[in-house]
Structures are given as C-alpha cells and as structure tokens.
Chain A
Amino acid sequence: DQQVKQNSPSLSVQEGRISILNCDYTNSMFDYFLWYKKYPAEGPTFLISISSIKDKNEDGRFTVFLNKSAKHLSLHIVPSQPGDSAVYFCAANSQGGSEKLVFGKGTKLTVNP
C-alpha cells in the first residue's frame, strides 16, 4: 500500500511558466514533508520541506503548499528554468514516530526552452 503517491509520472512546461508538482499521502500521522530533486547519474538533493504546523513554505523560486485536510502537498516552481528539468520526489515522515522517510515514485519535470 503506497502511503505517498505522485500520480503524474511526468510533466512538461515552458520556460518562464509555473511548474506544479503534486503529492498525496494517506497516513494521517505524517507531519513532516520534503521535496527532493534528482538529476540523472546523481544522488537526490534536498530541495525544501514543510512541517504540518505550516501550510506554506518558500525558498526563492520554490514554494511548497500543504493541505492537511486533503492530505495533499504541492511544489510550485516559478519561474521554471531549463535547469529545473529533473525527477522530483516527495517524501513524508512522522516526527517522533519514525526515523524513516516514505518516498513517492517521482515526477519527471521537463522545462522546455
């Protein structure tokens, strides 16, 4: 049973536009959420996180939104750049409950020039 779901395997956007990557979770105990970015032949890189006490967290062009009632989070990239083309993984954790992150299967983002 998949506790973290990224239902879109791929997404294609034009440079300069907004990219929105979505993630759904089923475990109501999750209270810490992360996004990782992965380029081919490299390890995943931590991008941004959000705790369940917040509904939004921003870092430059990246913003993560959390909707706890819908068990949904999204990553917005504005404006999108060709260098943002990568696979993005959503992950979740229950702070104080587990030392393990649960990952989604990833969404491949392609930003076209």
Chain B
Amino acid sequence: DAGITQSPRHKVTETGTPVTLRCHQTENHRYMYWYRQDPGHGLRLIHYSYGVKDTDKGEVSDGYSVSRSKTEDFLLTLESATSSQTSVYFCAISALGTGVSTDTQYFGPGTRLTVL
C-alpha cells in the first residue's frame, strides 16, 4: 500500500469555523490531490498540487484552499465551514512526472467531516 495518511480521520465542527485537513505521504510523489465523496456524486476533485507551492483548482474548489510547503504534506483548509461541506475527504498521490507517464492515483483512508 502507498504510504498515505490523513488526519484527523473524523471531525465534527460547527458552521463558520475554520478546518484544516492534512495529507501526509512517504512516497516522495510529485502529485497530490484532494477529493470529496458524496452520495450520487462519486469522487470530485477539489484541488491538486504538482509540486511544492504549485497548486491548481479542481471542479469543486469554491470554499476550499490548499497549501503545500513540503513534498510530503498537502493541507486542505475550509476557511469557514458550511453544512454543504459535510463529506468524506480523500487525499490521493500519483507518481506522474517522476518518470511515470500514467496517472494511477493511490488514495488515503479518508477523513469524515461533519459540519453542524
């Protein structure tokens, strides 16, 4: 299994509070991704990173920001959480760009976030 951890694994917070989720990898992969999974929607990309300090938006980026100051860590921040951001969040990594041409992504265990 790819070395990917996510913290926290579960979080309950209140509307309007800031929340930061952390993804940590030990594979030294260049690409990291944040997804959310919701019933009826499958996996939707929030943001991704293609290197330290290099990030870009996905299809559902509104209300989220990310930061990557080290290769191994990718942070997802909800500046002011809303109930619509209640979801399961998955981090993924890919070896793309490091001599690998195919974008096979490997996922972390997920963080279940509930915004009350």
Residue-by-residue, is A19-49 near B (CB-CB < 8 Å gives 1, otherwise 0)?
A: 0000000000000101010000111111001
Contact of A96 among B33, B44, B101 (CB under 8 A): B101
Cα–Cα distance between A106 and B105 once the two chains are bound (Å): 16
Residue in contact with B106 in the complex, picked from A32, A46, A106, CB distance below 8 Å = A46
Q: Which residues of B are found within 8 Å of A36, using beta-carbon distances?
A: 107
Q: Are B108 and A43 in contact (CB under 8 A)?
A: yes
Q: Give the contact stretch, choosing among B14-22, B35-43, B72-80.
A: B35-43
Residue numbers in B under 8 Å from A96 (CB-CB): 101
Contact of A46 among B96, B105, B108, B110 (CB under 8 A): B105
Residue in A6, A89, A93 whose Cβ sees the most chain B Cβ within 10 Å: A93
Partner of A99 from the list B4, B31, B90 (CB cut-off 8 Å) is: B31
| Interface members, chain B 42-91 (any A CB < 8 Å) | 42-45, 48, 50, 58, 90
Report chain A residues within 8 Å CB of B96. Answer: 99
Q: How far is the CA of A107 from the CA of B90 in the complex (A)?
A: 18
Partner of B107, one of A43, A49, A93, A106: A43
Contact call B104/A49, Cβ cutoff below 8 A:
yes
Residues of B within 8 A of A104 (CB): 42
Q: In angstroms, how far is the closest chain B Cβ from the Cβ of A42?
A: 6
Q: Is residue B102 contacting chain A, with contact meaning CB distance below 8 A?
A: yes
Q: Is there an interface contact between A42 and B42, defined as CB atoms closer than 8 Å?
A: no
Q: Find out whether the CB atom of A41 lies under 8 angstroms from the CB atom of B102.
A: no
The reply to whether A89 and B109 form a contact with Cβ atoms under 8 Å apart is no
Measured CB to CB, the nearest residue on chain A to B58 is A100
- Kindly state the separation between the CA atoms of A93 and B96 in the bound complex, as whole angstroms: 12
Interface residues of B (CB under 8 A from A): 4, 31, 33, 40-45, 48, 50, 58, 90, 94, 96-97, 101-110
